[in-house]
Amino acid sequence: MGAIGGEELKQVEKEQKAQMAGAREERILVVVRLRPLSDKEIIANEVADWECINDNTILYRNTLREGSTFPSAYTFGTDRVFRGDCLTKQVYEEGAKEVAVSVVNGINSTIFAYGQTSSGKTYTMTGITEYTVADIFDYINRERAFVLKFSAIEISNEAIRDLLSSENTQLKPRDDPERGLIVEKVIEEVLRDWNHLKELLSICEAQRKIGETSLNERSSRSHRIIRLTIESSAREFLGKENSTTLAASVNFVDLAGSEQASQSLSTEARLKEGCHINRSLLTLSTVIRKLSKGRQGHINYRDSKLTLILQPCLGGNARTAIICTLSPARSHVEQTRNTLLFACCAKEVATKAQVNVVMSDKALVKHLQREVARLESELKSPVPPPSNSDYAALLRRKDLQIQKMENDIRELTKQRDLAQSRVEDLLRVIRNDKHSGQSARINYHPNQLEGDAWEDDYSASESSCLADSNRLDVHVGKFNSIHCSNTESGSNIEQPYHQPLNNHEDHSMSVSGQSLDETLGETADDPDEYCKEVQCIETEEPAGDYNSDSRGLPNGESEGTLALTLYGDGDGTDQEAMSTSMNGDREANHIQNASRFVKF
Ligand SMILES: Nc1ncnc2c1ncn2[C@@H]1O[C@H](COP(=O)(O)OP(=O)(O)OP(=O)(O)O)[C@@H](O)[C@H]1O
């Protein structure tokens, strides 16, 4: 491993900070590669139904079935679509290189091929791997000191196997606190040169599980992941103590192909493989679909080994490119569409690429010491006091708040006085009424009216039920229930004042065209008269509500029925409720509220 230090360390830190601050989300690069019809397909008289009409759009040439909801053209915006005659070199240059070689700058990257069986995944990934390594070699020979490590695994039937090992032992994935998810005991070969690479690739090829299917004589029956890990340092800092290393990996993922049972040559082993392959690909599609809708909620990476291992490149800090391979044959139209839908979803997935810096222990200590010193100096320097203009703005805001509160107080006091005077008016009317010798009857509840003749001793009722003005003040403010005694029956039945007085359907106050003052003034001498003019119409509250809350009103409740009810005679059936319209809703409300506690 090489080393960087001094100026370069600072430079790396600077770049890292800039990256963290401005780390932009970037969409997964998705390219589509259409292969030409294979010899087998040509012999089978297959027709090519798909065509790339430009660099971004692939079109279904055949007529769509009636009622089909599939689109006939798929456009990939800035991402590329490669026609059948394109060389892998071009696919690499225009569809994968940028992502793949970011590994030399310390950014993890992944290129993977997705598509149905025999669509050209292995064909494409073999070329992409070789072109990438060639570019990396070219770069490292000129620029920095590099160490390249090669490893390869396959996932078959949910078992992970090392492709560089001749043993058939299963490897285990494990969460490493520093490195994230790793596969335990995987062999890492330090790449010496190009020939060494070719040698390792051929070992992998030989070790990989392949089998014959109806569509591919050499069908990959496993997912293969080749990983190239690159650790790089500037040459001038090689071996120095305060060195820092950029370390990143590029993964080349050649997925097994999705297939239908009929395509896998239905031996038991092939079918089982096919099931595993399809299940893990389904999990991959599900993960991609969820990621494409944002990262909310649980993403089921752990549902398959494939997604578990690919997690960092799907939703993490890696750069990712997906090459979707397609067969143009008419007989594969459904699977081609599925691949295109997967491509459309994958296009929406974003990752946040970051540079991975590995520091030597000494460099790390120095870096941390600097951080501590910086934080200490931040703590020591006091926070600058707010400027004069800040104080002035704050004062202005507070003044406005005070002003608003004073206005509110004035307004509320006015409303309270008004309500109080209305109540006093009403009391006066009642007293006049009493003196005129008429019997005004009040009932607290319609149900109690019958057989509940009003007590002759009105004053007794008045003293217990009719609050004096002071008491009413309190009630206007608090709206607690007041209880009064029914002296006639001799019992001391407590009745809440706010029981509904009749059962009209609408509780809103009816407008009689006169103010309460006027009404009362005109009719004070003749209760029957004002009984006619003023009606109490129930508000929307159902009677049951009152009953259920018969012990008292919640503090401060202001909505309510005008519970001012006058009964012309002792016959409850004759009752006529009284309500009034006021010069404005607020006044009406206050009268309503006040009146709820005034029983006559
Ligand atoms: N772009 C292409 N141009 C020419 N031939 C191709 C192209 N892509 C694939 N082929 C040929 O098609 C056949 C199947 O390709 P390949 O094995 O890469 O498919 P695959 O998707 O990896 O299949 P599987 O999933 O079954 O492993 C091979 O013979 C390959 O040489």
pLDDT digits (tens, 9 = 90+) for 294-328: 766 788 888 889 999 888 778 777 888 999 999 99
DSSP letter, residue 381: S
The helix/strand/coil state of 5 is coil
The helix/strand/coil state of 149 is strand
Q: What gap in Å lies between CA 185 and CA 172, rounded to an integer?
A: 8
Q: Does residue 321 share a domain with residue 240?
A: yes
pLDDT of 202 reads 93
Which residues lie across from 320 on neighbouring strands?
Answer: 110
What the block records as the tokens of 582 is: 């006021």
Q: Within a 10 A sphere around the Cβ of 506, how many other Cβ atoms?
A: 10
Look at the block and give the residue holding tokens 């492709």: 163
Q: Does residue 354 share a domain with residue 291?
A: yes
Confidence of residue 443 (pLDDT cuts 50, 70, 90): very low
Indicate whether 479 pLDDT > 80. no
Which residues lie across from 252 on neighbouring strands?
Answer: 111, 226
Sheet with 50-52: list strands edge to edge: 50-52, 57-60, 73-75
**Mean local confidence (pLDDT), 112-118:** 91
Confidence of residue 357 (pLDDT cuts 50, 70, 90): low
Indicate whether 575 pLDDT > 90. no
pLDDT of 369 reads 79
The helix/strand/coil state of 410 is helix
The reply to whether 426 falls in a domain is: yes
Residue with the bigger pLDDT between 155 and 461: it is 155
Indicate whether 114 pLDDT > 90. yes
CATH value at residue 137: 3.40.850.10
CA-angle at 290, arms to 288 and 294, nearest 5°: 110
Confidence of residue 87 (pLDDT cuts 50, 70, 90): very high
Q: Does residue 415 share a domain with residue 331?
A: no
Ligand 1 closest atom vs CA 256: 25
Q: What gap in Å lies between CA 565 and CA 457, rounded to an integer?
A: 19
User: Who's near 176: CB < 8 A, 6+ residues apart?
Assistant: 182
Indicate whether 198 pLDDT > 80. yes
Question: Which of 350, 370, 390 is the endpoint of a domain?
Answer: 370
Q: Does residue 239 share a domain with residue 179?
A: yes
Share of the chain above pLDDT 70, in %: 59
Indicate whether 83 pLDDT > 70. yes
63 in a labelled binding site: no
Q: Does residue 329 share a domain with residue 417?
A: no
Q: Does residue 450 share a domain with residue 308?
A: no
**Mean local confidence (pLDDT), 321-341:** 91
Would you say the CB of residue 550 lies under 6 angstroms from ligand 1? no
Confidence of residue 456 (pLDDT cuts 50, 70, 90): very low
Indicate whether 86 pLDDT > 80. yes
Instruction: Select the highest-mean-pLDDT range: 20-24, 308-312, 337-341, 436-440.
Output: 337-341
Indicate whether 254 pLDDT > 60. yes
118 in a labelled binding site: yes
Would you say the CB of residue 223 lies under 6 angstroms from ligand 1? no
Q: Does residue 227 share a domain with residue 116?
A: yes
Count of CA atoms in the C-beta half-sphere (13 A) of 278: 13
508 in a labelled binding site: no
Ligand 1 centroid from CA 414, angstroms: 88
Indicate whether 35 pLDDT > 50. yes
**Mean local confidence (pLDDT), 370-389:** 75
Lowest mean pLDDT among 2-6, 211-215, 255-259, 317-321: 2-6
DSSP letter, residue 529: H
pLDDT of 588 reads 39
Ligand 1 closest atom vs CA 325: 21
What the block records as the tokens of 421 is: 């005077």
Q: Does residue 486 share a domain with residue 362?
A: no
122 in a labelled binding site: yes
Q: Count how many residues are written for the chain.
A: 600
**Mean local confidence (pLDDT), 133-152:** 83
Do residues 515 and 582 make contact, with C-beta atoms less than 8 angstroms apart?
A: yes
Burial class (CB in 10 A: 0-12, 13-18, 19+), 548: exposed
Q: Whose CA is nearest to atom 14 of ligand 1?
A: 118
Would you say the CB of residue 258 lies under 6 angstroms from ligand 1? no
pLDDT of 482 reads 33
The reply to whether 46 falls in a domain is: yes
Residue 203: alpha-carbon gap to chain centroid: 47
Indicate whether 486 pLDDT > 70. no
User: Who's near 80: CB < 8 A, 6+ residues apart?
Assistant: 31, 32, 55, 56, 94, 95
Closest CA to 31 of 113, 110, 86: 113
The reply to whether 378 falls in a domain is: no
The reply to whether 484 falls in a domain is: yes
pLDDT of 311 reads 85
What the block records as the tokens of 378 is: 């931040």
Share of the chain above pLDDT 90, in %: 19
Q: Within a 10 A sphere around the Cβ of 379, how many other Cβ atoms?
A: 8
Q: Does residue 436 share a domain with residue 366?
A: no
Would you say the CB of residue 257 lies under 6 angstroms from ligand 1? yes
Ligand 1 centroid from CA 212, angstroms: 13
Q: Are strands 244-254 and 109-115 parallel, antiparallel or unpaired?
A: parallel
Ligand 1 closest atom vs CA 38: 12
Q: Does residue 454 share a domain with residue 331?
A: no
pLDDT of 483 reads 36
Would you say the CB of residue 336 lies under 6 angstroms from ligand 1? no
Question: Which of 346, 370, 394 is the endpoint of a domain?
Answer: 370
Would you say the CB of residue 38 lies under 6 angstroms from ligand 1? yes
**Mean local confidence (pLDDT), 20-48:** 84
Q: Are strands 244-254 and 223-233 parallel, antiparallel or unpaired?
A: antiparallel
The reply to whether 476 falls in a domain is: yes
Indicate whether 584 pLDDT > 50. no
Instruction: Select the highest-mean-pLDDT range: 110-119, 174-183, 360-369.
Output: 110-119
Ligand 1 centroid from CA 34, angstroms: 11
CA-based diameter of the chain, in Å?
123
Q: What gap in Å lies between CA 164 and CA 188, rounded to an integer?
A: 9
Indicate whether 167 pLDDT > 90. no
**Mean local confidence (pLDDT), 265-292:** 78
Do residues 443 and 572 make contact, with C-beta atoms less than 8 angstroms apart?
A: yes
117 in a labelled binding site: yes
Torsion of CA 186, 174, 211, 88, to 10 degrees: -70
Ligand 1 binding pocket mutation candidate from 116, 118, 154 (most atoms within 8 A of CB): 118
Q: Does residue 130 share a domain with residue 179?
A: yes
- Arithmetic mean of pLDDT over the chain: 69
Ligand 1 closest atom vs CA 210: 27
115 in a labelled binding site: yes
Instruction: Select the highest-mean-pLDDT range: 93-97, 358-362, 471-475.
Output: 93-97
Residue with the bigger pLDDT between 312 and 224: it is 224
Q: What gap in Å lies between CA 121 and CA 28, rounded to an integer?
A: 18
Indicate whether 438 pLDDT > 60. no
Ligand 1 closest atom vs CA 254: 22
Which residues lie across from 225 on neighbouring strands?
Answer: 153, 253
What the block records as the tokens of 241 is: 């103590």
Ligand 1 closest atom vs CA 221: 27
pLDDT of 262 reads 58
Q: What gap in Å lies between CA 149 and CA 191, rounded to an integer?
A: 6
Residue with the bigger pLDDT between 95 and 479: it is 95
Helix axes 88-95, 121-142, angle to 10 degrees: 60
Ligand 1 binding pocket mutation candidate from 154, 155, 216, 277 (most atoms within 8 A of CB): 216
Indicate whether 93 pLDDT > 80. yes
Would you say the CB of residue 219 lies under 6 angstroms from ligand 1? yes
Would you say the CB of residue 122 lies under 6 angstroms from ligand 1? yes
Burial class (CB in 10 A: 0-12, 13-18, 19+), 488: middle
Indicate whether 465 pLDDT > 80. no
Lowest mean pLDDT among 14-18, 89-93, 143-147, 545-549: 545-549
Q: Whose CA is nearest to atom 31 of ligand 1?
A: 123
Confidence of residue 246 (pLDDT cuts 50, 70, 90): confident
The reply to whether 48 falls in a domain is: yes
Q: Indicate the number of domains in the chain.
A: 2
Indicate whether 338 pLDDT > 50. yes
The reply to whether 389 falls in a domain is: no
**Mean local confidence (pLDDT), 565-592:** 36
Do residues 575 and 443 make contact, with C-beta atoms less than 8 angstroms apart?
A: yes
Q: Does residue 317 share a domain with residue 425?
A: no
Q: Within a 10 A sphere around the Cβ of 378, how many other Cβ atoms?
A: 9
Q: What gap in Å lies between CA 127 and CA 113, rounded to an integer?
A: 12
Lowest mean pLDDT among 43-47, 67-71, 151-155, 252-256: 67-71
**Mean local confidence (pLDDT), 114-139:** 92
Q: Whose CA is nearest to atom 2 of ligand 1?
A: 35
Q: Whose CA is nearest to atom 11 of ligand 1?
A: 120
The reply to whether 562 falls in a domain is: yes
Indicate whether 106 pLDDT > 60. yes
Domain with 133, as residue range(s), is 6-370
Ligand 1 centroid from CA 164, angstroms: 23
Indicate whether 238 pLDDT > 60. no
Indicate whether 123 pLDDT > 90. yes
